[in-house]
Amino acid sequence: MKDIVLKGKNLKRELIIYLFCFVITTGMNIYSIVSYDTKWPELWLSLPIVFLLSIVIYALSGLFRFIYFLLKKAGVHLNILPLKK
C-alpha cells in the first residue's frame, strides 16, 4: 500500500480553493439578501448555512477536478493528449 503524502504546496492550493468557495458563497448570501429583500443580520446569522454550502461547492469542485484528472489521464493513454514532460 502506498502512503499518501500531502505536500505543503497541495495543502495551500486546497485551502485557497476552499477559501474561494467560501467567498463565492458569501457573495451568494449578500446577493440573496439584496434580491430577496431580507434582513442584513442574515450576513452573520446565516453563516452556518454559508459554511455548509461552501463545503458542498468545494466538494463539487473536487469532483470536477477528479473528472478532469481522469479525462486527462485517459487522453494521454489513448495518445489524444500529449503528456507534459
Binding site for another protein (CB under 8 A): 28-29, 31-33, 35-36, 38, 42, 45-46, 49-50, 53
**What's the closest the beta carbon of residue 53 comes to another protein, in angstroms?**
7
What's the min distance (Å) between Cβ of 23 and another protein? 14
Q: CA 3 to CA 27: how far, in whole Å?
A: 38
71 within 8 A of 34, measured Cβ to Cβ: no
Letter for the amino acid at 84? K
Instruction: Look at the block and give the residue holding cell 505536500.
Output: 7
Nearest approach in angstroms of CB 13 to another protein is: 27
